Amino acid sequence: MPVFAALSAVLLLSCVPRGFDHAASHLDGQRRFYEGWYLRLTDADQGESFGLIYGIAHDRGAPDGGAGYLIALSAADGERAWTRVPVARTSAPHGVYDISIGEADGPLYGHIDADGGRGWFQAGPDDGDRPVAWDLALTPTRTWTARHDSPMGWVQRWKGFQTYWHVVALQARVSGTVRFGDRSVHFDDALGYVERNWGRVFPRDWMWLQAGSFVDPATGAPRDGALSASGGHVPLAGPIGTKAGIVGYWDGDAMHHFATHTGQKVRLRYAPGDWEVVARGGGEKLVVRAGIDPDALVPIAGPTRDGVQDVAIESLDGRLVVELFRRARPFGRWRLQHRAESGLAGVEVGGLAAVEAAAARSGATESEGGGGAPHPVVE
């Protein structure tokens, strides 16, 4: 743990003020900075799940200053749609959770705040030339902790870190309508989830898992639960980086969270179509396994040094199993306490290698998106 001991010392020199709303925008005149908000809603009875991403990538050195972008991902369709606009057409006031991309009176718009999100755009030919729209009201019902703490804990307060992650709502209730192409789906009190990330550089490679629609594998009956896990190669400064992981699981009665930066053991294994997280600490062990046909993973755009382009592959239709074990004493036998399954799990592998592998499987020679339009340069 020497890396995190060193970070603790640096934290004393430069930190974000306590009480800062990490759901809000952190943009504050930085030369290069990205922010993203992710709203997911799931209705297992309908077999529907959508992921809606609002992104802003600032770069004062680029001719267009960067880009804003909107992404919609559908589990039932197994497809994504996305579009982008010049960064000048975005609004993200520092310290305010009220984000806009495009214009409310225009053909392309996205807005998210504490009460929900809405948006609309027309995807390009490479994304089915389909219209996408959503209007959703959201009420958070469970956060990472009762105090709304961030999963990253003290690391979140260090300004020098390059990649940050915050779960705004581990569980939420969502109502409204999503239109994806020629389908309109209405949701009434569906399961919701909201997270966001920001920083200067995306990790070199990473994984992400999220699920909120669980069943008891013995009976098939629905059960309360919510899981979010993220980790990978985290950049610290320049070429220096470290492997780190965070996982949180609400089992319906209690919250279990594990993180590398708190001294707990979080082992990650991930590749397109296959994920495993094994976390231990405090006499508990959490094992999460997820899988999907790699061909079902679709590209997801994000900021890179070469502009906004595909940075990850993802699906909202993964199969996930979570198991919680406990032992009474060190080196004692682990005993299974809890097991739950989800058939609508969010699964993602990030990084150039994953995107290139997906392109090779599909027979593509180059990863493109947004109708094949030139990518804004975010150097």
Give the pLDDT confidence of 198-246 residue by residue, as tens digits: 988 788 899 999 999 999 999 999 999 999 999 998 776 666 777 889 9
In a domain, 80, yes or no: yes
In a domain, 249, yes or no: yes
In a domain, 290, yes or no: yes
Closest by alpha carbon to 299, among 23, 29, 82? Answer: 82
In a domain, 379, yes or no: no
Residue ranges making up the domain that contains 115: 34-372
pLDDT at 367: 31
In a domain, 48, yes or no: yes
In a domain, 6, yes or no: no
Residue partners of 80: CB distance under 8 A and separation at least 6: 71, 72, 73, 74, 127, 298, 299, 300
Rg (CA), the chain: 20
Predicted TM-score of the model (pTM) = 0.89
In sequence order, the β-bridge partners of residue 259 are 246
Give the pLDDT confidence of 289-346 residue by residue, as tens digits: 999 999 999 999 998 878 888 999 999 999 999 999 999 999 999 999 999 999 999 9
Would you say residue 12 has pLDDT above 80?
A: no
Closest by alpha carbon to 114, among 47, 183, 24, 46? Answer: 24
Would you say residue 287 has pLDDT above 50?
A: yes
